[in-house]
Each structure stands twice: as structure tokens, then as C-alpha cells.
Amino acid sequence: MKGYIFDLDGVIVDTAKFHFLAWKKTARYFGFDLTEALNEKLKGVSRVDSLKKILDWAGTTISEDEFEKLATEKNEDYLQYVNKMTSKDVLPGVYEFIEKLKKEGCPVALGSASKNAPKILKKTGLYDMFDAIVDGNSVTKAKPDPEVFLIAARKIGVKPEHCIVFEDSEAGIEAANVAGMTSIGIGDKRVLIDADQVFSNFIEIKEKFINQLH
Ligand code: BG6
Ligand code: MG
């Protein structure tokens, strides 16, 4: 039996755009514009590592206290968007896709870098669909380290080589590949070049393809 591991932001829900808006504000504070191309490097990356990258791009350093303050402010901005979320914010085809896997008895896990994952899953009504939830609260190493996916695989009792990961970020695809799992990119083929296969969304994934994976 194959195991299915889903990233959260940008795969299950469109929160990637909320992270982008909140980090754009942080970048503005340091006097530069966070472009979409630069933002690709933040996708899948933990809150702390994202802020470190922004400081690097700004060519500056700050005290630990200010670092803490900026990370907290970014999260507060981000949560203002998240707090308005409902089940309508689940990306097209995702609910049906996971439901089908569950009906077939396939183990399903979440593998996300976000500390806000439980809150988002509860707000969108998806929390109970997962057999295991591994998120930013339970990992020590951020993607592209494979830790999050390896823990998820262990929790659902499936060998890494039998796991299929759905990811929208370069860091996440790398993490899945390093873990020895099948990596399915959700997004742009030109960006997710290392993924085993890329689809623009879950509606595009046909039953035939899933049956081949099983
Ligand atoms: C990832 C997002 O899923 O979670 C990143 O792609 C984000 O953009 C990271 O920085 C951490 O999220 P949070 O919610 O803990 O700040
Ligand atoms: Mg993501």
C-alpha cells in the first residue's frame, strides 16, 4: 500500500499568497521589493529561515530581539488572513482527492513546515481527514531537509520509497527526493524542475495516474 503525504501551504490551501503578502511587508521595511521569483525561495521554508533569507537579501543583520519581533509581526499579519478562512478556501479538487484515497484505505499524512498547520486544517474542516499530522511544531530541521516527510512516513507505517509527496515548493520537492519518495509538484513545471511529475492542480490529476501510483 502506498502512503500519501501532502504539504499544506500552496497545495491544500492557497495560503502561499498570504505568506507572500506578509513577507512583502517585511521586505519593504528593509527597503526592497520581494518579487514573485524571490518568493519562490521562501516557499516551504520555515518562518525563522525565511526571515534569515530576507535579511541576507537586504544585506543586513539585526539583534535577536528585533528578529523575534519581526517574525512575530509577520505571523500576526499572516494570521489576519488565516482567521478569515473557511472550507471554501480549500484548493479545487483537493477535498475530493483526499476523500477518494481515504475510501480506498490509503494512509494520508500532512508534512508541512508551518506551525499554523493545525489551526488552518481546523478552520477549513480538513483536520480529521489525516492519519498523521507532522508540522512545524514537531520537526527540528526545515525543508529541504527530509525530516518532516520521513517522520510522516514512519507515523503512517509506510516505507519512504512507497510514499508519494505533493508539494508546491522547490525546497519541498528536494526534501521528498532526498527522502527517496515520489515527488509530485503542484504548480509550474518551469519552477518545479526536479519533481518526478508536475500538475497545475488536483483537478488535472486523472484517476488513471493515481491508479498507476497505487
Ligand atoms: C511553509 C510555507 O509551509 O510554512 C512557508 O511554505 C512558511 O512560506 C512556513 O514560512 C512556516 O509557516 P508558519 O505558518 O509556521 O509561519
Ligand atoms: Mg507549500
CA of 207 to the centre of ligand 2 (A): 23
Atom of ligand 1 nearest to the CA of 136: 15
Range of the domain at 128: 3-14+86-213
168 and 65 belong to one structural domain: no
Closest to 106 (Cα-Cα) out of 192, 148, 166: 166
193 and 181 belong to one structural domain: yes
For 126-179, how does the pLDDT look when each residue is reduced to its tens digit (9 = 90+)? 999 999 999 999 999 989 999 999 999 999 999 999 999 999 999 999 999 999
Cα 172 to chain centroid distance, Å, stands at 7
- CATH number at 196 reads 3.40.50.1000
- CB-based contact 48:54 (threshold 8 Å): no
Overall number of domains in the chain: 2
Q: Please report which confidence band the pLDDT of residue 209 belongs to, taking 50, 70 and 90 as the band edges.
A: confident
Residue nearest to atom 13 of ligand 1 (CA): 114
Q: Which of 40, 59, 82 is the last residue of a domain?
A: 82
CA distance 167 to 184: 6
- CATH number at 69 reads 1.10.150.240
N- to C-terminal Cα distance for the chain? Answer: 7
In this prediction, residue 213 carries a pLDDT of 76
Q: Would you say the ipTM is above 0.90?
A: yes
Query: 6 — phi, psi (to 5°)?
Result: -110, 130
In this prediction, residue 194 carries a pLDDT of 98
Q: Considering the entire predicted model, what is its pTM?
A: 0.94
Query: 94 — phi, psi (to 5°)?
Result: -65, -50
For 54-79, how does the pLDDT look when each residue is reduced to its tens digit (9 = 90+)? 999 999 999 999 999 999 999 999 99
Judge whether 24 is annotated as a binding position: no
